[in-house]
Amino acid sequence: MWMALRNFVLMAVLACAPVFLLAQLDNAAAPTDLALQRIVCAVPGVDYLFVGSSFTYSGINPLLFTERGLKAYNLGTPCAGVSYYHLLANDYVARTGTRPRTLLIEVTPVSFATGADDWKRYTIHRTLVEPRSHEEVALKYGLGTRYFELVRKSSVQGAQALARLARGQTRPECKKVLSTLGMVVSNTQDAPDGRRDEAKFKETLLDTYPPQKAEELITLAKSHRDGGERVVFHQPPIFARSLYFTPEFMAEYEEMLERLTKAGFEVIPPDDVARYSPADRRNGDHLNSEGAEKYTEYLMGKLGIEIKR
């Protein structure tokens, strides 16, 4: 019996070995995913660096800063929450060898929602200058059995990376990312009632506020302030999604904002959502390019940057 069990374990290990080996090679070639290209193509020495989720890459246009003689870059990443913010902001400094004069961090209730920091969907920890292993991430963030999903995805990405290396594709394609300085341009307009994605928002009703995320956010902000950066928090409009957080969740979120202010950080108040019509949104909770121009100019005004008409 023990001999049969030993043989079974040995065969299982041998069968899984190629999967784990390929998973280690997932970052052997430059990424082709636009979300990951945004990380590796980061512009050094900026005046303003924006770190956040899809609300950031949809809602902030760095080119408006360029028009005013300022350097900016949009490092918004899909599904990013507080843990992703930490990795993104630190990787920018390590990758470029520079610090932004001002680090603007997106903060909304969604930053603390269960769906934020989707490690499986966007394995940004493997794209960093100093990549984090799946094992480290799984242990630190309590991913449990999702660890095996990460390994399986990375094994596929590893095989794809080897194929790109064989074709000589070793350098990242940055042209598209740099043409907009990280922003995702969209001219799509939302449904007239602004509720196109209402069904998926309802899952947030099940969320409970994670206090450990607030501690992580404050630690991140303090470390970058200690490095000489001006750290500013801003709250992009999230429209219909804001209706689907419980009163208890929102009360703790508001308390967190007060903590940021008491810790000496600038917290820009949210813009009036009534200024944004469905024509300014690409879906129920994201701005399109026209809406992004409005919100970017709002931020610029709050940052003390002259708006030239």
Segment 92-143, tens digit of pLDDT = 999 999 999 999 999 999 999 888 888 888 889 989 999 998 888 888 888 8
| Residue 6 within any structural domain of the chain | no
| Residue 25 within any structural domain of the chain | no
Residue with tokens 């879906």: 283
pLDDT at residue 4 is higher than 60? no
| Residue 138 within any structural domain of the chain | no
| pTM score over 0.75 | yes
| Residue 190 within any structural domain of the chain | yes
CATH of the domain at 206: 3.40.50.1110
Among 91, 20, 54, which Cα is nearest to 284's? 54
Residue with tokens 């770190």: 51
Q: At what angle do helices 146-166 and 134-141 cross, to 10 degrees?
A: 150
Segment 32-46, tens digit of pLDDT = 888 899 999 999 999
| Residue 14 within any structural domain of the chain | no
Structure tokens given for 98: 């520079």
| Residue 307 within any structural domain of the chain | no
Give the integer Cα–Cα distance in Å for 300 and 226: 24
Among 171, 172, 147, which Cα is nearest to 19's? 147
| Residue 272 within any structural domain of the chain | yes
Averaged pLDDT of the chain:
86
Q: How many domains does the chain have?
A: 1
Give the integer Cα–Cα distance in Å for 115 and 122: 12
Contact 47, 100 (CB under 8 A): yes
Among 150, 252, 269, which Cα is nearest to 207's? 252
Contact 145, 111 (CB under 8 A): no
pLDDT at 14: 40
Categorize the per-residue pLDDT at 193 as very low, low, confident or very high, splitting at 50, 70 and 90: low
Q: Lowest-confidence range among 5-14, 122-131, 183-192, 267-276? A: 5-14
Give the integer Cα–Cα distance in Å for 292 and 289: 5
Sheet holding 230-234, edge to edge: 72-76, 48-52, 102-106, 230-234, 266-267
Domain that holds residue 224: 33-133+173-302
Segment 201-255, tens digit of pLDDT = 666 666 788 999 999 999 999 999 999 999 999 999 988 777 788 889 999 999 9
| Residue 188 within any structural domain of the chain | yes
Burial class of residue 147 in the structure, from the number of CB atoms within 10 Å of its CB (0-12 exposed, 13-18 middle, 19+ buried): middle
